[in-house]
Amino acid sequence: MKAITTLALSMLGVVVLGQSQDGWKRINKVKVSGFAWKNCGKPEAAAVLETLSVSPDPISIPGDLTASASGSTSVELRAPLNVNVTLEKEVAGFWVKIPCLDDLGSCHYPNVCDILTQLIPPGQDCPEPLHTYGLPCRCPFKSGSYALPQSDFFLPFMDVPSWLSNGDYRVQGILGDGAEELGCLKVALSLHSE
């Protein structure tokens, strides 16, 4: 479930961890509104996000975010865990798939465990509030139930790819272990930058 929660929060802040580079631009403020989510996996999916709440609406970046989440996994989630992300933008009433550019967009990530290990190296404590609540931030994630109580986060300034602009977006992430689908999550949101 922690991998599903990480995926959900990553979808919300899909560019928060972006680094300034060619083709990226600095923005002063982004408002994220209309955040909605749902499971899209099979009824017998191993990893299920049961609750996810984020506020306020709209969310300001930079700004404060309050979030809580809960879910479960019936199997241990271990490397390699792959994620297939499909990112779409509404253009003139049609949903257009955004290709994978600069590792953002509709991309395949062959092992999110490696990504988590790069973000939080072994031996380093998990970031707050995960550390306080004893939630893991690296693979493997043991089978069982996980819960993140209502917690406050600060979302910092960010750089965004130049192709990411104002509009309505929807994202689908499918978590897998080889060819087996373990869980699926859909997120919808609107972006408005200043």
Residue type, 69: A
Using pLDDT thresholds of 50, 70 and 90, give the confidence band for residue 24: low
CA angle 35, 39, 42 (to 5 degrees): 165
Residue 14 has pLDDT above 50, yes or no: no
- What tokens does 43 get? 């009824």
Every domain of the chain and the residues it spans:
2-193
- What tokens does 103 get? 């590792």
Give the mean pLDDT of the chain. Answer: 85
Residue 12 has pLDDT above 50, yes or no: no
110-138 pLDDT, tens digit per residue, is: 999 999 999 999 889 999 899 999 999 99
At residue 58, the pLDDT reads 93
At residue 51, the pLDDT reads 96
Least Cα distance to 5 among 139, 190, 185 occurs for 185
User: Is the peptide bond prior to 43 cis by the omega test (within 30 degrees of 0)?
Assistant: no
CB 89 within 8 A of CB 168: yes
Q: With the CA atoms of 169, 163, 110 and 76 taken in that order, what torsion angle do they form, in degrees rounded to the nearest 10? A: -40
Q: With the CA atoms of 76, 81, 82 and 83 taken in that order, what torsion angle do they form, in degrees rounded to the nearest 10? A: 60
Q: Which residue in this structure is represented by tokens 């062959």?
A: 110
At residue 157, the pLDDT reads 78
70-92 pLDDT, tens digit per residue, is: 999 999 999 999 999 999 999 99
At residue 4, the pLDDT reads 45
Q: With the CA atoms of 35, 88, 184 and 43 taken in that order, what torsion angle do they form, in degrees rounded to the nearest 10? A: 90
CATH 2.70.220.10 corresponds to the domain 2-193:
yes
At residue 26, the pLDDT reads 58
pTM confidence score: 0.82
User: Three-state DSSP class for 41?
Assistant: coil
At residue 143, the pLDDT reads 96
Residue 6 has pLDDT above 70, yes or no: no
List alpha helices for 56-193, DSSP H: 112-119
Residue 19 has pLDDT above 70, yes or no: no
CB 148 within 8 A of CB 135: yes
CA dist 39 to 52, 121, 181, Å?
A: 11, 30, 13
- What tokens does 122 get? 């072994």
At residue 15, the pLDDT reads 33
